[in-house]
């Protein structure tokens, strides 16, 4: 990780630690105030605890033009991105995506869609979507694309855990961390009024609710895919499934939440002040949000257009987006959910 980023974040953390005005804002400050000196691992842990709500910046009396020139959300955002790049495996892919994320997402989605379209020309004897691309072909393509990113994430999280001095995992710490992540409590900025992400003078829960829509939408879509897998292999019930089947009951609301949540997040990011985050990663973050939203939207479009002449091209685009999302997961902001949960578990261990 770049030493200058760590040094600047440490300088700001030491000033914040002396002031303590923002002590109740989020998980960052109780953790920060627990010590007097900050190792590189401590700064990395604080950075991954930060949700970039920006409430501390607007409350701070030491921001520019004060000589201290504090901008803690920006300093921690830059360290956070640096930590993901350092711990990612392989590292060059993470650095490339954060600086050219939108272009990479578009090129890969189109490229994978063309690949699926080419495979379609071979033909299939299945029903529904399997008439376009066989079940065996989908499994052969997506199983490695799902497992390899998980393996890569596992390497990154292991490196992170060692770097921040994490202890032996225990159910109590994991449970507390999951509960906090599920409520996204830190996006309420401690006082419960919300954060100032969109507007300096207005507290809002908009970003918190949008994050929840995206998270729960993604989890519902994943649950729908899992339900379909159980039905196919466990009960020998092959797709397509009806409207009142479990995959559809879970998948349709999940797709709606994911699509609307990502659209709202893209608009929110457009209105936010880029100087209070990692400006160098803005393109990669926006590319990830749009890719995730398109994955949900194309899945809904596929359901609506199934059985029509548009089913084949929409399926190719949807599968291209899903495959791109899987392949890029360890190198996009999708990884931040895993790192943030690890940071919350580590913080829970600190307070035991």
| Domain range annotation of the chain | 3-83, 89-350
pLDDT score of 113 = 73
State residue 45's pLDDT score. Answer: 96
If one counts every other C-beta atom within 10 angstroms of the C-beta of residue 123, the result is 10
Sorted by sequence, the CB contacts under 8 Å of residue 177 that are 6+ apart come out as 341, 344, 345, 347, 348
- Length reported for the chain: 352
pLDDT score recorded for residue 2? 74
Structure tokens at 106: 């578009």
Report pTM.
0.87
Sort residue 52 into left (φ over 0), alpha (ψ -120 to 50) or beta. Answer: left
Question: What CA–CA distances, in Å, run from 218 to 212, 228, 295?
Answer: 10, 15, 10
What are residue 204's DSSP bridge partners? Answer: 195
pLDDT of residue 101: 58
Mean pLDDT, consecutive 10-residue stretches, the chain (352 aa), reads 88 93 86 89 95 87 95 95 88 65 67 68 57 72 87 95 94 92 75 68 82 95 93 85 90 97 93 87 86 93 84 83 86 87 94 78
Contacts of 332 (CB under 8 A, 6+ apart): 97, 101, 284, 287, 288, 291
Spell out the residues 6+ positions from residue 312 whose beta carbon is closer than 8 angstroms to its own.
117, 120, 132
| Confidence (pLDDT) at 186 | 77
Residues 301, 303, 305, 311, CA torsion sign:
positive
* Residue 168 CA to its chain's centroid (Å): 25
CB 254 within 8 A of CB 217: yes
**Residue 266 structure tokens:** 């893209």
pLDDT of residue 327: 84
Residues 173 and 184: their CA atoms lie apart, in Å, by: 16
């Amino acid at each position: 990780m770049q030493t200058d980023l760590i040094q600047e974040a440490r300088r700001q953390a030491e000033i914040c630690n002396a002031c303590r005005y923002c002590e109740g804002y989020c998980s960052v400050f109780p953790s920060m105030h627990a010590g007097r000196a900050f190792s590189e691992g401590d700064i990395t842990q604080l950075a991954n605890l930060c949700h970039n709500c920006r409430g501390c910046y607007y409350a701070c009396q030491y921001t520019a033009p004060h000589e201290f020139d504090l901008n803690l959300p920006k300093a921690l955002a830059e360290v956070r991105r640096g930590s993901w790049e350092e711990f990612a495996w392989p590292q060059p892919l993470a650095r490339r995506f954060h600086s050219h994320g939108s272009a990479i997402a578009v090129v890969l989605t189109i490229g994978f869609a063309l690949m699926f379209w080419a495979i379609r020309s071979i033909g299939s004897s299945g029903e529904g979507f399997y008439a376009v691309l066989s079940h065996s072909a989908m499994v052969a393509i997506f199983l490695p694309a799902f497992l390899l990113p998980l393996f890569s994430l596992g390497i990154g999280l292991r490196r992170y855990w060692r770097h921040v001095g994490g202890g032996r995992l225990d159910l109590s710490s994991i449970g507390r961390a999951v509960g906090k992540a599920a409520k996204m409590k830190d996006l309420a900025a401690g006082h419960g009024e919300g954060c100032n992400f969109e507007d300096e003078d207005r507290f809002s829960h908009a970003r918190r609710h949008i994050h929840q829509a995206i998270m729960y939408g993604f989890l519902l879509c994943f649950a729908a895919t899992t339900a379909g897998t159980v039905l196919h292999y466990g009960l020998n019930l092959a797709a397509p499934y009806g409207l009142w089947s479990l995959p559809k009951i879970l998948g349709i609301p999940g797709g709606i939440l994911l699509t609307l949540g990502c659209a709202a997040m893209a608009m929110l990011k457009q209105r936010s002040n880029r100087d209070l985050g990692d400006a160098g990663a803005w393109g990669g973050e926006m590319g990830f949000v749009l890719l995730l939203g398109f994955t949900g939207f194309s899945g809904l479009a596929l359901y609506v257009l199934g059985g029509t002449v548009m089913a084949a091209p929409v399926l190719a685009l949807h599968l291209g987006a899903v495959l791109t999302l899987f392949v890029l997961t360890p190198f996009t902001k999708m990884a931040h959910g895993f790192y943030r949960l690890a940071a919350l578990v580590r913080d829970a261990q600190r307070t035991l």
